[in-house]
């Protein structure tokens, strides 16, 4: 028998570090966006779209990957899917900025805590995937958490649910796209489709409150101009990490960002955490613990099944 080649530990370690870096950056984004005040959330998103597009064009040039990008452009199906992905990520970005800049950082963290559960639910409803018992229990607990927050806290968590479902559907569309579109090309096209929206938003902002870019000091201008890189860098780190490590590792690391956001909202920005909110979050965390356990058990069973397959002589 020919022995199987050993797994590249270095590659897995680098991949985990790349993914961890992405989630750490996503976690501290509230601090960055709060430095952009008094810029309106709609102006921030408009510049984020335009500057992300410019940054991606630069990356396509520096990385010399224009040829595969143009191959994607010639495929109508992929172009349509990137347009849909663009709309969904716009909803996510805009909702996130509204939350971060209006004192709802804790609620944005709740959205990203709920997102894995929404992803599982979409897999059942849209992709007709079959679930084991634990994920169903996790979904039920998550629904109970939302009910507790709505009834006890007296407010519907629309920011959290919009973030969770927009990013859930975004992931679903990206799954349909698959490896046919790399991270840089994908973000380039998604930003391209959103350019008209960005222009309209800047025109409206200019006529309502006035554009802040260049009018709030040098530091503010530099930070606002960095929005393109701030958008693209964690996405590229995530894409590099996801190719090198198992999905279970990504699944566990994805909780890093909302944990950091929760800490920032509760203990740095001192947003209110009522008893009802604590109960709601505790239920969500319990649901995520069940999902994590189920994922780890399923992963180990899969590895054992693979190890039991006889190797070719």
* pLDDT tens profile 167-223: 989 988 988 888 889 889 999 999 999 999 999 999 999 999 999 999 999 999 999
CA distance linking residue 255 with residue 285, whole number of Å: 10
pLDDT at 247: 64
Mean pLDDT of the chain: 88
Whole-number pLDDT of residue 9: 53
**Which pLDDT score, from 0 to 100, does residue 12 have?**
76
- The predicted pLDDT at position 14 comes to 85
Structural contact between residues 82 and 191, judged by C-beta atoms closer than 8 angstroms:
no
Mean pLDDT of 263-274: 93
Note the pLDDT of residue 308.
57
The pLDDT, as a whole number, for residue 309 is 53
- pLDDT of the residue at 4: 39
What is d(CA 164, CA 304) in angstroms, rounded to the nearest whole number? 33
Weakest mean pLDDT among 9-23, 34-48, 91-105, 262-276: 9-23
The pLDDT, as a whole number, for residue 225 is 95
- Where exactly are the structural domains of the chain? 11-303
The Cα-based distances of 292 to 252, 287, 288 in angstroms read 7, 9, 6
**CA Rg, the chain, in Å?**
21
Measured between alpha carbons, how far is 135 from 188 in angstroms, rounded to an integer?
35
For the chain, the first-to-last Cα distance in angstroms comes to 4
Tokens 């007296």 belong to which residue?
A: 154
3-state secondary structure the chain: CCCCCCCCHHHHHHHHHHHHHHHHHHHHHHHHHHCCCCCCHHHHHHHHHHHHHHHHHHHHHHCCCHHHHHHHHCCHHHHHHHHHHHHHHHHHHHHHHHHHHCCCHHHHHHHHHHHHHHHHHHHHHCCCCCCCHHHHHHHHHHHHHHHHHHHHHCCCCHHHHHHHHHHHHHHHHHHHHHHHCCHHHHHHHHHHHHHHHHHHHHHHHHHHCCCCCCCCCHHHHHHHHCHHHHHHHHHHHHHHHHCCCCHHHHHHHCCHHHHHHHHHHHHHCCCCCCHHHHHHHHHHHHHHHHHHHHHHHHHHHHHHHHHCCCCCC
Q: Is residue 108 within 8 Å of 163, Cβ to Cβ?
A: yes
pLDDT score of 5: 43
Q: For residue 235, is pLDDT > 60?
A: yes
Distance of CA 119 to the CA centre of its chain: 12
Tell whether omega for the bond before 137 is within 30 degrees of 0, i.e. cis. Answer: no
Least confident of 56-70, 203-217, 233-247: 233-247
For the segment 97-156, what is each residue's pLDDT rounded down to a tens digit? 999 999 999 999 999 999 888 888 888 888 888 888 888 898 899 989 988 888 876 788
The residue among 185, 234, 237, 230 whose CA lies nearest residue 44 is 230
């Amino acid at each position: 028998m020919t022995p199987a080649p050993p797994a590249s530990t270095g590659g897995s370690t680098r991949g985990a570090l790349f993914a961890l870096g992405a989630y750490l950056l996503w976690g501290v984004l509230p601090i960055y966006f709060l430095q952009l005040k008094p810029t309106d959330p709609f102006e921030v998103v408009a510049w984020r779209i335009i500057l992300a597009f410019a940054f991606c064009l630069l990356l396509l040039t520096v990385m010399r990957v224009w040829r595969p990008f143009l191959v994607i452009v010639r495929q109508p199906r992929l172009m349509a899917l990137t347009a849909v992905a663009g709309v969904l990520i716009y909803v996510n970005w805009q909702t996130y900025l509204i939350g971060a800049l209006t004192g709802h950082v804790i609620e944005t963290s709740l959205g990203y805590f709920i997102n894995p559960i929404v992803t599982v639910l979409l897999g059942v409803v849209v992709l007709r995937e079959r679930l084991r018992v634990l994920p169903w229990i996790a979904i039920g607990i998550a629904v109970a958490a939302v009910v507790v927050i709505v009834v006890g806290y007296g407010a519907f968590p629309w920011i959290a649910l919009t973030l969770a479902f927009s990013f859930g559907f975004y992931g679903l569309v990206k799954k349909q796209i698959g490896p046919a579109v790399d991270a840089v090309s994908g973000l380039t096209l998604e930003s391209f489709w959103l350019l008209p929206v960005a222009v309209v938003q800047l025109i409206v902002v200019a006529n309502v409150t006035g554009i802040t870019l260049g009018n709030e000091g040098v530091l503010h201008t530099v930070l606002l101009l960095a929005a393109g890189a701030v958008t693209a860098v964690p996405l590229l780190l995530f894409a590099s990490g996801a190719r090198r490590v198992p999905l279970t590792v990504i699944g566990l690391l994805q909780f890093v960002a909302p944990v950091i956001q929760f800490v920032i909202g509760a203990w740095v920005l001192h947003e209110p955490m009522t008893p009802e909110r604590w109960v709601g979050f505790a239920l969500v965390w319990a649901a995520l613990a069940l999902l994590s356990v189920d994922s780890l058990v399923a992963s180990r069973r899969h590895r054992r099944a693979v190890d039991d397959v006889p190797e070719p002589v």
